[in-house]
């Protein structure tokens, strides 16, 4: 059975054994089946019996994951002082009703976009920071949730993390141990930089509930410290 829309295909495949674990409702009606698949150009969502033997859902992103960018700054003296990590405060509905501190990033667009291009685009869209010179951080990619995302990290699937070093003189202290970007038009395209703040790296780890941010910060620390 297929329900087709312009951008999404919804298919249901009934298999032997009927309903196994979860109650599946489609348009308010319970469905007694084994596998449900929802697919679009962005990826495939599948509900069904996992290899471990229990019911669950998984998602495989069509390009193998996304990309995130961590802007960072070394404070004086001589650029070797405190490591400051840049996070952006934004609304993330899956993380609650209030804005939260997150890493900049998102999925790779279908149609041939690379991870490098994705991190540059997302950084510009979300923060206004031009991250074209960001460097990919060493290490295997990140599976954001190993229980529910399918990503072969050794094959390059998962979320790629990038680091972007900025000069300390681009920052000004807003309050103790919290820094913001100066509004200097010739340095950055300031669209949303008012939402970006830089924190000492230990504080940045403690204040964000974004697993992608914590993972990227860990990769950055492995590179720098």
The predicted model gives 7-23 an average pLDDT of 48
Q: Which residues fall within 8 angstroms of residue 120, CB to CB, at 6 or more apart?
A: 69, 130, 131, 132, 134
At residue 31, does pLDDT exceed 80?
no
Please give the pLDDT value at position 186.
44
Q: Which residues fall within 8 angstroms of residue 210, CB to CB, at 6 or more apart?
A: 92, 95, 100, 101, 102, 103
DSSP state of 169: G
At residue 18, does pLDDT exceed 50?
no
pTM of the model: 0.81
Please give the pLDDT value at position 4.
38
Helix (H) or strand (E) holding 218, with range, is helix 211-224
Please give the pLDDT value at position 33.
64
The predicted model gives 151-175 an average pLDDT of 92
The predicted model gives 174-186 an average pLDDT of 80
DSSP state of 138: S
Least Cα distance to 72 among 183, 190, 167, 136 occurs for 167
Q: Of 51-65, 119-133, 210-224, which has the strongest mean pLDDT?
A: 210-224
Write down the domain spans for the chain: 2-61, 66-224
Let me know: does 89 contact 202? Beta carbons within 8 Å.
no
The predicted model gives 187-215 an average pLDDT of 84
Please give the pLDDT value at position 21.
57
Please give the pLDDT value at position 51.
65
CATH number, domain 66-224, options 3.90.79.10, 3.40.50.970, 3.30.420.40, 3.40.50.720:
3.90.79.10
Range from 8-12, 17-21, 140-144, 158-162 carrying the lowest mean pLDDT = 8-12
At residue 150, does pLDDT exceed 90?
no
């Amino acid at each position: 059975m297929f329900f087709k829309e312009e951008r999404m295909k919804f298919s249901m495949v009934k298999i032997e054994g009927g309903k196994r674990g979860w109650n599946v409702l489609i348009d308010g009606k319970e469905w007694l089946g084994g596998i449900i698949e929802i697919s679009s150009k962005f990826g495939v969502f599948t509900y069904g019996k996992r290899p471990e033997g229990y019911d669950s859902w998984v998602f495989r992103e069509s390009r193998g994951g996304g990309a995130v960018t961590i802007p960072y700054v070394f404070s004086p003296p001589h650029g070797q002082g405190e490591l400051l990590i840049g996070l952006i405060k934004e609304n993330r509905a899956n993380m609650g009703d209030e804005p939260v501190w997150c890493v900049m990033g998102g999925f790779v667009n279908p149609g041939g976009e690379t991870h490098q291009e994705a991190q540059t685009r997302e950084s510009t869209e979300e923060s206004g920071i031009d991250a074209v010179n960001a460097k990919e951080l060493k290490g295997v990619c990140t599976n954001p949730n190993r229980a529910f995302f399918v990503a072969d990290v050794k094959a390059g699937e998962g979320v790629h993390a990038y680091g972007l070093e900025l000069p300390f003189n681009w920052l000004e202290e807003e309050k103790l141990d919290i820094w913001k970007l100066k509004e200097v038009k010739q340095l950055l395209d300031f669209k949303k930089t008012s939402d970006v703040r830089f924190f000492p790296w230990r504080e940045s780890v403690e204040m964000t509930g974004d697993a992608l941010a914590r993972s990227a910060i860990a990769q950055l620390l492995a590179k720098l410290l």
